[in-house]
């Protein structure tokens, strides 16, 4: 391992731990830059190749990616702050970004300093220390510069840009997925995979709703026999249940691991709408769906109301399929419409 005898603020280009005031930079903005660099065949593989040397220090490819994304978010956040202060303009964008990426970071974990110095040549490290962008770091710099032009509002931003490669036959949900991802309401199963056709469990949807509408537990915390404090979903299920938004499936069971049905999704959203005071019950007795008779009595009012508001709809046969499991794409589409309705 090579040791550097002088400070290396330039290396924070990759693994900055700088903390700054939060502006409007989103998870989706960060991922737009990360995806562009990730597709480059040279830059990240050099870092990954150095990883085995540090396994004993828990440096993995995943941890490299997370530090890398943290660094991108920092650069974009500082750039946006400078734009707000009038220091960064369309004309000096690239020059300012170069200075920001090299000069603004404050500290970095020693293990990542070592990782960089082992992953790249001494000439590259020396070039960074001199305040230059060496050839090996150009993919990172160019990705930040090109995407920042749009992210910072100099180009036409338009609709949110999805960062997932597997939407394929689910492009009808692309806008909804991008919108919810942009607001950190839901994530993919990996950096670039969303698995839109996978089913959504009851606990997963509970988390989506809690995050989307900032639902916190009330004083009374009900207990389910299939939900434990050690479970990742415990705070979300508890919050929903304590406010009577989720009632479980009977016998003190929440239904952990069970796929949520379309009618139950409608019920949860309807109850939240009532709790927030933005939704009135429909007086209609039928939903108008061809399979209306299969909608459970406890869900009928919710389904009818949500349909009248345009939040849910049927398929090409005008069927709602109330007892069928909901996919991640379907859940995103329904939650997107509901979120927009609540926040209109």
Looking at the DSSP bridge assignments, the partners of residue 199 are 327
Higher-confidence position of 240 and 37: 240
270 shares a domain with 217: yes
Taking the C-alpha atoms of residue 25 and residue 201, their distance in angstroms, rounded to an integer, is 30
111 shares a domain with 185: no
Looking at the DSSP bridge assignments, the partners of residue 186 are none
Q: What percent of the chain has pLDDT over 90?
A: 39
Contact status, residue 300 vs residue 327, Cβ threshold 8 Å = no
User: Per the domain annotation, does 161 fall within a domain?
Assistant: no
DSSP codes of every residue in 256-275: TTPBPBHHHHHHHHHHHHHH
The answer for residues whose C-beta is within 8 angstroms of residue 30's C-beta and 6 or more apart is 69, 72, 73, 76
- Tens-digit pLDDT profile for residues 189-200: 887 889 999 999
185 shares a domain with 98: no
Taking the C-alpha atoms of residue 147 and residue 135, their distance in angstroms, rounded to an integer, is 19
**pLDDT over 50 (residue 79):** yes
Using alpha carbons, list the distances in angstroms from residue 61 to 24, 43, 254: 28, 13, 36
pLDDT score for 24: 73
pLDDT band at residue 181 using 50, 70 and 90 as cut-offs: confident
pLDDT score for 6: 39
Residue with tokens 């700088």: 18
Q: Pick from 36, 114, 119: which is nearest to 72 by CA?
A: 36
- Name the range with the highest mean pLDDT among 64-78, 90-104, 201-215: 201-215
pLDDT score for 120: 76
Taking the C-alpha atoms of residue 118 and residue 3, their distance in angstroms, rounded to an integer, is 9
Q: Pick from 284, 298, 287: which is nearest to 321 by CA?
A: 287
pLDDT band at residue 176 using 50, 70 and 90 as cut-offs: very high
User: Per the domain annotation, does 26 fall within a domain?
Assistant: yes
pLDDT score for 133: 75
Mean pLDDT of 201-224: 87
**pLDDT over 80 (residue 128):** no
User: Per the domain annotation, does 35 fall within a domain?
Assistant: yes
User: Per the domain annotation, does 180 fall within a domain?
Assistant: yes
pLDDT band at residue 9 using 50, 70 and 90 as cut-offs: very low
How far from the centroid of its chain's Cα atoms is residue 286's Cα?
37
**pLDDT over 60 (residue 8):** no
Domain end (from 117, 151, 185): 151
332 shares a domain with 189: yes
**pLDDT over 90 (residue 49):** no
User: Per the domain annotation, does 310 fall within a domain?
Assistant: yes
219 shares a domain with 111: no
Q: What percent of the chain has pLDDT over 70?
A: 83
98 shares a domain with 178: no
Mean pLDDT of 286-315: 95
172 shares a domain with 147: no
Taking the C-alpha atoms of residue 43 and residue 32, their distance in angstroms, rounded to an integer, is 16
pLDDT score for 300: 96
Q: Is the pTM above the cut of 0.85?
A: no
pLDDT band at residue 295 using 50, 70 and 90 as cut-offs: very high
**pLDDT over 80 (residue 262):** yes
Higher-confidence position of 250 and 57: 250
User: Per the domain annotation, does 113 fall within a domain?
Assistant: yes
Higher-confidence position of 299 and 144: 299
Contact status, residue 238 vs residue 217, Cβ threshold 8 Å = yes
User: Per the domain annotation, does 30 fall within a domain?
Assistant: yes
Q: How many residues does the chain have?
A: 344
Q: Pick from 138, 22, 124, 3: which is nearest to 73 by CA?
A: 22
- Name the range with the highest mean pLDDT among 41-50, 91-100, 253-262: 253-262
- How many domains, in total, are found in the chain? 2
Taking the C-alpha atoms of residue 156 and residue 8, their distance in angstroms, rounded to an integer, is 36
- Name the range with the highest mean pLDDT among 17-21, 56-60, 270-274: 270-274
Please provide the average confidence, as pLDDT, over all residues in the chain: 82
121 shares a domain with 251: no
Which of 133-137, 240-244, 255-259, 310-314 comes out lowest in average pLDDT? 133-137
**pLDDT over 50 (residue 5):** no
Structural domain range at position 97: 9-151
138 shares a domain with 13: yes
Tokens matching residue 269: 């959203």
Tokens matching residue 299: 């869900």
Contact status, residue 85 vs residue 140, Cβ threshold 8 Å = no
**pLDDT over 60 (residue 301):** yes
pLDDT score for 1: 40
Domain end (from 151, 176, 202): 151
pLDDT score for 98: 82
138 shares a domain with 237: no
225 shares a domain with 135: no
pLDDT score for 336: 96
Domain end (from 116, 151, 186): 151
How far from the centroid of its chain's Cα atoms is residue 78's Cα?
21
Higher-confidence position of 178 and 276: 276
Taking the C-alpha atoms of residue 101 and residue 142, their distance in angstroms, rounded to an integer, is 12
**pLDDT over 90 (residue 325):** yes
User: Per the domain annotation, does 303 fall within a domain?
Assistant: yes
332 shares a domain with 188: yes
């Amino acid at each position: 391992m090579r040791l550097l005898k002088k400070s290396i603020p330039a290396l924070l280009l990759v693994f900055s731990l700088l903390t700054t005031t939060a502006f409007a930079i989103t998870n989706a903005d960060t991922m737009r830059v990360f995806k562009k660099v990730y597709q480059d065949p040279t830059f990240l593989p050099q870092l990954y190749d150095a990883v085995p040397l540090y396994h004993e220090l828990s440096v993995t490819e995943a941890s490299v990616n997370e530090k890398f994304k943290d660094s991108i978010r920092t650069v974009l956040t500082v750039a946006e702050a400078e734009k707000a202060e009038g220091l960064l303009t369309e004309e000096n964008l690239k020059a300012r970004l170069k200075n920001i990426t090299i000069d603004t970071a404050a500290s970095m974990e020693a293990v990542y300093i070592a990782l960089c110095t082992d992953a790249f040549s001494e000439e590259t490290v020396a070039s960074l220390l001199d305040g230059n962008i060496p050839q090996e770091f150009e993919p990172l710099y160019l990705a930040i510069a090109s995407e920042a032009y749009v992210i910072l509002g100099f180009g036409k931003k338009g609709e949110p840009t999805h960062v997932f490669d597997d939407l394929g036959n689910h492009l009808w949900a692309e806008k909804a997925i991008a919108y919810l991802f942009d607001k950190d309401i839901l994530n993919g199963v990996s950096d670039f995979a969303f698995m839109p056709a996978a089913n959504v469990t009851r606990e997963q949807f509970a988390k989506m709703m809690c995050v989307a509408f900032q639902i916190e537990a009330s004083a009374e915390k009900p207990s389910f026999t299939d939900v434990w404090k050690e479970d990742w979903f415990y705070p979300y299920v508890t919050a929903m249940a304590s406010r009577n938004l989720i009632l479980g499936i009977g016998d003190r069971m929440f239904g952990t691991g069970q796929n949520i049905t379309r009618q139950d999704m409608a019920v949860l959203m309807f109850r939240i709408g009532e709790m927030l005071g933005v939704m009135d019950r429909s007086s209609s007795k039928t939903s108008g769906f061809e399979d209306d008779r299969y909608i459970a009595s406890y869900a009928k009012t919710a389904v009818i109301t949500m349909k009248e508001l345009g939040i849910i709809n049927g398929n090409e046969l005008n069927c709602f399929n109330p007892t069928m499991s909901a996919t991640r794409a379907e859940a995103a589409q329904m939650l997107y419409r509901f979120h927009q309705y609540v926040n209109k």
